[in-house]
Amino acid sequence: MAGVQFPLTAKGDRSTTGFNKDAFKAVAESLGCQDLAQAISSEKNWRQKYDTHIENIIENLAVMSLLDSAKMATAMQAGLDKARAMEFETSEGNSVPLTTVMAALERKFETATITGSQEAKTELTLPYHGKELKGPEIDAKCDSWATVGTMELGCAEALKSGARKLGQLKGRTFLVLGASSELGAVRPLLEAGATVAAVMRSNNKRWGELINFARGTAGTLLAPIGAGKDAGSDQEIAEAAGADLLKDAPAISEWLLRCGREASGLVTVSTYLYADGEANVRVTAAADFIAETAAKELGKDKVSFAYLASGSTSHLIPAEAIQAQEANHNSGNFWAKAVGKRRDCSPSLQGAKFWAASNPQGQAASYHFFRGVVGLQGPNYALAQYMRQWRAVLLHMQGFIVSTPVTPNCRTDSVVHNPTMKVLLEGMAYWKPMESFDPDTCRMAMFAILVADLTEPMTDLASPVQIFTQRAFHSGLWRCPFDLGSLGISTWFLGKVAPRKQPVVDAQ
């Protein structure tokens, strides 16, 4: 199978378990946490117990972000270097290091340009339970979500502001990896008059729908076309367009870099990727090389970056979230208190130990850490998510504008294809202040936050990892007082027999 591959092991296979462990072990070793590195090496049941090990690593990264951000960055880079140490199998069947082919970019794609003919949208519409919220209605809903605790206050303010600033997107170019993503911003960007260079695999139907959509907007769609293919009419473009990030990574990097250089205005590299299982890590590795190249070649005065951080990852959270957890527990229902386990966001024993060893001032550990990794999703999902988060932090520390807010629980196809997750999403609203969202709501909300991030960059952060948390739309996870794992059976039962779309406190 040509394209990006995990490296061959001494046994002659392409093990993902050992590769996954090595990436997190590299972070631990860079931080000086030999005990955590040894624990990872010794773990015989990584698939079932990976989450505990990863939580320890991420907590220590969070600690170091507060005490020595440069050392944190070095550890993140070590993890990325190990996670990108893949191979690329050529069409002739030869395997070469991925880093080698990504450094020798080849020109394989030409550009088809699809120009819209409509007026640009200047104000956002937010779909929500059958309604189309605008202006003051969006403001009221954001204020409600922030008050209840479904999102952070900074998120509410960013969403409200971004909803009114769509006009500032005209003249910008977005280089989008994962243009078919349900939560990606491709379509609203086109409606706002932006130029979008879209990367997604060949699919006549999908490309045809996107091209037809673009014609009815104020935007410009750029599509990669294989050299020598006919692309005169829209139908021919739909048949010829497409690029596979796993198979065509070097050529995609060259094409996007060319689009970025030719852009007259500001450029944003947007990564909206998902793939099942181990392919998620491979596609993320390819995308990371592309982001790194764009940063180096285009520079921070021209290019910015956009990601969506998964809610199923772990983060430093503000003290206000802990206070809200206490209040929500005090007002919680009897059943939740009877069967639910209190969420503990205090420093773990190993985290406090690491803090003490890393803090020469002798102050006690003082931080709040949300442990969000969901074991059901698997170690490859976790590694792919953290690879993107590590790159986002490194870019931010290098002075680039980076948009990467935490996203809410959402009924995307990639989630609801798992029947257990599908039912669980319908039961979460029983636990204050939890709420799960339809893709249309989430897409437009995150789009508005993207606009705010690009036009009102965050400054004066206490820690570089606050780029995820200050404008987080976390579904209420951070302010729910219970470990949802302890409510799993109850959540599933309620979601099955009496599904609820809105929280008890907000249902109308």
CA distance 314 to 496: 28
460 pLDDT tier (thresholds 50, 70, 90): confident
pLDDT digits 0-9 by tens, 230-268: 788 999 999 999 999 999 999 999 999 999 999 999 999
Q: Residue 504: is its pLDDT beyond 90? A: no
Q: Say how far apart CA 474 and CA 56 lie, in whole Å.
A: 21
**Per-residue pLDDT for 209 more than 80?**
yes
**DSSP string over 357-369:** HH-TT-PPP---E
Would you state the torsion angle of the CA atoms of residues 253, 167, 405, 254, taken in this order, to the nearest 10 degrees? 0
pLDDT at residue 496, rounded to an integer: 95
Rounded CA separation 454/268 (Å): 9
pLDDT at residue 335 greater than cutoff 90: no
Say whether pLDDT at 458 is over 90: no
Answer for the pair 237, 231: CB distance below 8 angstroms, yes or no: yes
Most confident option among 3-12, 259-268, 416-425: 259-268
Q: What is the mean pLDDT of residues 102-116?
A: 94
User: Do 293 and 253 form a contact (C-beta atoms < 8 A)?
Assistant: yes
Q: What was the pLDDT predicted at 271?
A: 97
Confidence check: pLDDT of 2 > 90: no
3-state secondary structure 185-243: CHHHHHHCCCEEEEECCCCHHHHHHHHHHHHCCCCEEEEEEECCCCCCCHHHHHHHECC
**Token pair of 40 as six digits:** 């990872």
Residue 417 CA, distance from chain mean position: 19
Q: At what angle do helices 16-31 and 46-67 cross, to 10 degrees?
A: 30
Q: Which pLDDT score, from 0 to 100, does residue 505 have?
A: 57
Looking at the predicted structure, is the pLDDT value of residue 318 above 80?
Answer: yes
Per residue in 218-239, pLDDT (tens digit) is 999 999 999 888 788 999 999 9
Residue 506 has pLDDT above 80, yes or no: no
Using the predicted structure, report yes or no on whether residue 306 has a pLDDT greater than 80: yes
CB hemisphere CA count around 508 (13 angstroms): 6
CA separation, residue 182 to residues 99, 411, 413 (Å): 30, 10, 8
pLDDT higher than 70, residue 20: yes
Lowest mean pLDDT segment, chosen from 125-134, 313-322, 419-428, 442-451: 419-428
pLDDT of residue 82: 98
Contacts of 137 (CB under 8 A, 6+ apart): 126, 131
The verdict on whether omega for the bond into residue 433 sits within 30 degrees of 0, i.e. cis, is: yes
Question: What percent of the chain clears pLDDT 70, i.e. is strictly above it?
Answer: 99
Per the document, the length of the chain is 508
Residue 122 has pLDDT above 70, yes or no: yes
Question: What pLDDT is recorded for position 228?
Answer: 82
Tally the C-alpha atoms within 13 A of residue 296's C-alpha that lie toward its C-beta.
8
Tokens 């190993």 sit at which residue? 350
Which band of pLDDT confidence, cut at 50, 70 and 90, is reported for residue 508? very low
Question: Residues near 277 by Cβ (< 8 Å), separated by ≥ 6?
Answer: 378, 380
Q: Which residue has the higher pLDDT, 10 or 204?
A: 204
- Read off the pLDDT of each residue in 82-100 and give the average, rounded to a whole number: 92
Nearest-angstrom CA–CA distance, 425 and 421: 6
Q: For position 45, what pLDDT does the model report?
A: 95
Beta-carbon contacts of residue 267 (< 8 Å; ≥ 6 apart): 172, 173, 174, 175, 260, 294, 298, 302, 303, 304
DSSP 249-284: HHHHHHHHHHHHHH-SS-EEEEE----STTHHHHHH
The answer to whether residue 72 scores a pLDDT higher than 50 is: yes
| 3-state SS, one letter per residue, for 37-69 | HHHHHHCCCHHHHHHHHHHHHHHHHHHHHHHCH
Rounded Cα gap, residues 352 and 341, in angstroms: 22
- Distance between CA atoms of residues 111 and 259, nearest Å: 9
Of 32-36, 175-179, 226-230, 477-481, minimum mean pLDDT range: 226-230
Calculate the CA dihedral of residues 415, 417, 423, 427 and round it to 10 degrees.
20
What is the rounded average pLDDT for all residues in the chain?
A: 94
Taking the alpha carbons at both ends of the chain, their separation in whole angstroms is 53
**CA max distance for the chain:** 69
Residue 108, pLDDT > 60, answer: yes
Rounded Cα gap, residues 19 and 12, in angstroms: 14
Three-state DSSP class for 72? helix
Query: Encoding tokens for residue 152?
Result: 């952070």
Dihedral angle computed from the Cα positions of residues 55, 56, 61 and 65, in that order, rounded to the nearest 10 degrees: 90
Question: 226 Cβ partners below 8 Å, 6+ apart?
Answer: 108, 109, 110, 240
What the block records as the tokens of 493 is 């039962």
Main-chain dihedrals φ then ψ at residue 220, nearest 5 degrees: -125, 125
Q: Which helix (H) or strand (E) holds 429?
A: none
DSSP H/E element including 317: none
The single-letter code of the amino acid at 91 is: S
CB 200 within 8 A of CB 223: no
Strands 369-370 and 315-316: antiparallel
If we measure between CA atoms, which residue out of 266, 260, 244, 262 comes closest to residue 294?
260
